[in-house]
Amino acid sequence: MTPITVLIAEDHPVFRDGIRVLLESADDVQVVGEAATGRQAVNLATSLQPQVILMDIGMTDINGIEATRQIVQYHANVNILILTMHEDDDSVFAAIRAGARGYLLKGASGIDILRAIQTVSSGEAIFSPPIATRMMRYFAELRSSNDRLPELTPREHEILNLLAQGHSNQEIADILVLGHKTIRNHLSNIYSKLQVVDRTQAVIRARNAGLGQS
């Protein structure tokens, strides 16, 4: 079995050493580098092209969320797994929006960390149980407390309705006679206003509000 290549991005040397020892004990994982700052993580992601980066949020230079955003922007094949002590909603959702595929708390067991690395290396998402529970509760409360959508512009409402009907970006552009880039920009604004992280969640919100029925 070809081992999963991993870059450790962690500014605390003692914790970084402990993670390295854990990963080196696994037959299916290979540590290919270590970064002590966010900038180093970005640079090493480019030079080493690891399959997975274990990323702390509280990094110096640039934080782990911004480092994640920069890495994902240019290296779609690199999967980011956040490993941090930060469990507030702002950090969790900011990391997801930046492109992280997983979010673990530093109290996670070694087995959970290794399992998470395997999961994100295959392109799937994984979250610590407390984080997953809070995310589910957050979206459930959001749906129940606000059946109506946040105030969108008429054009955004029109685009969201077409999105909920199952149309692709190009089909929406053709229907509304708009450029593909314009549609992407509108969708980015819609996601931000709806506080969702991707197309699927936007469609769920839209359909809960009665859009996409015709």
Find where tokens 């969108």 sit: 152
Q: What is the CATH number of the domain that holds 51?
A: 3.40.50.2300
Q: Is residue 137 part of a domain?
A: no
**pLDDT tens per residue, range 30-41:** 999 999 999 999
Query: What's the gap between Cα 52 and its chain centre?
Result: 13
Q: Is residue 69 part of a domain?
A: yes
41 plus 101 within the same structural domain: yes
91 plus 185 within the same structural domain: no
29 plus 58 within the same structural domain: yes
pTM: 0.67
**pLDDT tens per residue, range 95-137:** 888 899 999 999 999 999 999 999 999 989 999 888 888 777 7
Q: Is residue 140 part of a domain?
A: no
- The span from the CA of 172 to the CA of 104, in Å, is 37
CA-nearest of 124, 150, 109, 136 to 22 is 109
**pLDDT tens per residue, range 18-67:** 999 999 999 999 999 999 999 999 999 999 999 999 999 999 899 999 99
34 plus 65 within the same structural domain: yes
Q: Is residue 98 part of a domain?
A: yes
Q: Is residue 197 part of a domain?
A: yes
Q: What is the CATH number of the domain that holds 192?
A: 1.10.10.10
Find where tokens 């970064």 sit: 35
**pLDDT tens per residue, range 136-162:** 776 665 454 344 676 788 888 889 888
What are the angstrom distances between the C-alpha of 22 and each of 109, 110, 111, 150, 175?
Answer: 10, 7, 9, 46, 54
Final residue of a structural domain among 103, 129, 155: 129
92 plus 198 within the same structural domain: no
Helical spans, DSSP H, in the chain: 13-24, 38-48, 64-74, 89-98, 110-121, 129-145, 154-164, 169-176, 180-194, 199-208
90 plus 188 within the same structural domain: no
Final residue of a structural domain among 129, 160, 181: 129
Helix (H, G, I), strand (E, B) or coil at 104: strand
23 plus 86 within the same structural domain: yes
Total count of domains within the chain: 2
Final residue of a structural domain among 129, 155, 183: 129
- The span from the CA of 189 to the CA of 170, in Å, is 17
Query: Which residue range forms the structural domain that includes residue 162?
Result: 146-208
